[in-house]
Structure 1
Amino acid sequence: MVQDRYVCTADDLATQTIATKPPDASVAETSEWLEAEGFDAAPVSDGEDIRGYVVLEELQDAPSDDRIVDHTNPITIEEIISADATFEEVLAALYEEPFYFLGGQNRLTGILTRADLNTSPARMRLFDRITLLEDRLRELVVDVAPDWKERVALDPDVVEEIEKRHAEARRSNIELDEIHYAQFSTLATIVSDIEACWKACGFSSDHRASSQLDDLTELRNAVAHSQQVIQNTEGGLGEGRTIGTVEQTYTTLEDCLENLSS
């Protein structure tokens, strides 16, 4: 694996202050509270004693005047994630289930949900890895396709802007190769269009390279502009970027880095 420059664990992402409900709270009261707070689930505690957890979706089908103790699920090893779980492990786990607890059955230290991927630690981790890939892709183009302007049919306005930035850098004595002044989306187009480049990244075809690098460009833009990484926490076929999309795009990112470092 390519060396990490910014490490992000489950503990970095999880919400540390856990809000709970007592066992004798009503289903109606707890459901309203969960919806108001934007929680999918919450622990049920009797003082310091953790009795389990309730899930909003399950409560919506229960009688409103029932006590939540009658609809409480036990916390098992399946609902617990290690505080040291890596970012890759967190993505894989959250793809399987929408939330996890940190700690143990009787003492919880945090709760991790898909929505936590919209926090600063997640963006910092993603930006670190995407920036590293951007550097590697520029090196690749310089190495195997220095004549990219002649080989790829780019928008003339895009090329003109690159040349303008390059000229400004030259006048300031901080000149790099022209490819360093191309935006990530342009870089992705070049890599997808030149066989030697997309093969070096591990893609099986130009179409696959274009599709997956487009997804990576969208994620990169969201991260760079502090927009939502996860747009749909349900993880299904709804609108917006889901946990499945993010996990796949992150896999593309890491695979490219691995191939370019070998």
Structure 2
Amino acid sequence: MTIIPTQQRDKVSSYKNLRSLYEKNITVNSISETMDTCHLNDDADTIKSMMVIKDYDVLGVEDNGIVIGYVVGNELKDGSCKEYYRSFSPTELVSESTPLIDTLYIFKEIERIFVLEGNRITKVVTRADLQKPPIRMLLFGLISLLEMHLYRIINDYFPEDTWKEYLGSNRIKFAEELFSLRKSRNEGIQLSDCLQICDKRDIILNEDPLRELLGIESKSKGKSFFKKLESLRNNLAHAQNLNTNYSWDEMFLLIEQTEKLLGKCEKI
């Protein structure tokens, strides 16, 4: 049986608690928008014009004071809204307490979701809302947690900076210069604190047993994953669109892979 030092257990536990904060305490309500409504017998063309002015993609449809469905703006033509409205599908409905990370995965299959407050459908979320700050906080938090875990694992597996054998001289020099700068500011750090995500990637991927422990199938797949992750982190840091370089489907897959790798890290 492997005995895990108390300090290491506490560190992993604190990371899990931080992860739980991101994954469970930030809910779909943080990115949802109150859904305006029209009436079942309203003129469809008039409602469409109103939606264009207000930049609405969808609008709830009421009948006798109850929201019974919705209309999509670009589907409206002549006639009444009754001819165009859609009933809510169970797959489109989520509770207001649904964690934000779960909300992301729902968007793998559908373009919009509606939020239930009690037994009333009051809010809507579309893919455009995935660009909002709470989503950015969530994703940046997950990436930061992964980096923290990789830092911990590298320190455990490569004592006395033996990880240097996996980095080129330029990357080592960069880390050493950053280390000297931070030490001059009286920061209590070690050289591995100055490794960038690309350095951690190369160290992890070139240590075969460690790569296998983390469930990374091959170096090439690992490099592809970390390249996309670094691109996402840069977009988050510079307030770029999240899917500038990749489609939403690729984004959702990347987030799933990050979550899976975090789980592997927590087990080591």
TM-score category (smaller protein): 0.7 to 0.9
Q: Deviations over 1:205-232 (max 9, x none)?
A: 111111112111122222222322245x
Residue ranges of structure 1 left out of the alignment (5+ in a row):
232-239
Which moved further from structure 2: 131-140 or 21-30? 21-30
Aligned length: 247
CA distance in 1, matches of 2:201, 2:137: 21
Out of 252, 255, 259, the residue aligned to residue 260 of structure 2 is: 255
CA distance in 1, matches of 2:184, 2:199: 24
CA distance in 2, matches of 1:188, 1:66: 59
CA distance in 1, matches of 2:119, 2:153: 52
Distance 1:14 1:194, change over 3 A: same
CA distance in 2, matches of 1:78, 1:257: 28
Which moved further from structure 2: 177-186 or 31-40? 31-40
* Normalised TM-score (structure 2): 0.80
Out of 116, 122, 136, the residue aligned to residue 135 of structure 2 is: 122
Q: What is the DSSP-based 3-state SS (H/G/I as helix, E as strand, rest coil) of the residue aligned with 1:42?
A: strand
Where is the strand percentage greater, Structure 1 or Structure 2?
2
* C-alpha contact (below 8 Å) 1:52/1:72 kept by paired residues: yes
Out of 153, 161, 165, the residue aligned to residue 168 of structure 2 is: 153
Distance 1:206 1:219, change over 3 A: same
Hey, what does 1:68 align to over in structure 2? 81
Q: What is the DSSP-based 3-state SS (H/G/I as helix, E as strand, rest coil) of the residue aligned with 2:86?
A: coil
Where is the helix percentage greater, Structure 1 or Structure 2?
2
Q: Which letter maps to 1:181?
A: C
Q: Which letter maps to 2:231?
A: E
Distance 1:245 1:254, change over 3 A: same
Hey, what does 1:53 align to over in structure 2? 70
Distance 1:259 1:51, change over 3 A: closer
Distance 1:25 1:185, change over 3 A: farther
* C-alpha contact (below 8 Å) 2:95/2:117 kept by paired residues: no
Quick check: 1:144 aligned with 2:157?
yes
Hey, what does 2:231 align to over in structure 1? 218
Give 1:5 shift: 2.8
Distance 1:177 1:199, change over 3 A: farther
Q: Which letter maps to 1:248?
A: L
CA distance in 2, matches of 1:105, 1:180: 47
1:1-262 equivalences under 5 Å are: 2-3=16-17, 4-6=20-22, 7-15=25-33, 17-45=34-62, 48-59=65-76, 64-103=77-116, 107-145=120-158, 146-153=161-168, 156=170, 158-230=171-243, 240-262=245-267
Which moved further from structure 2: 122-131 or 101-110? 101-110
Give 1:34 shift: 3.8
Distance 1:176 1:213, change over 3 A: same
Give 1:143 shift: 2.2
Q: What is the DSSP-based 3-state SS (H/G/I as helix, E as strand, rest coil) of the residue aligned with 2:37?
A: coil
Q: Which letter maps to 2:165?
A: E
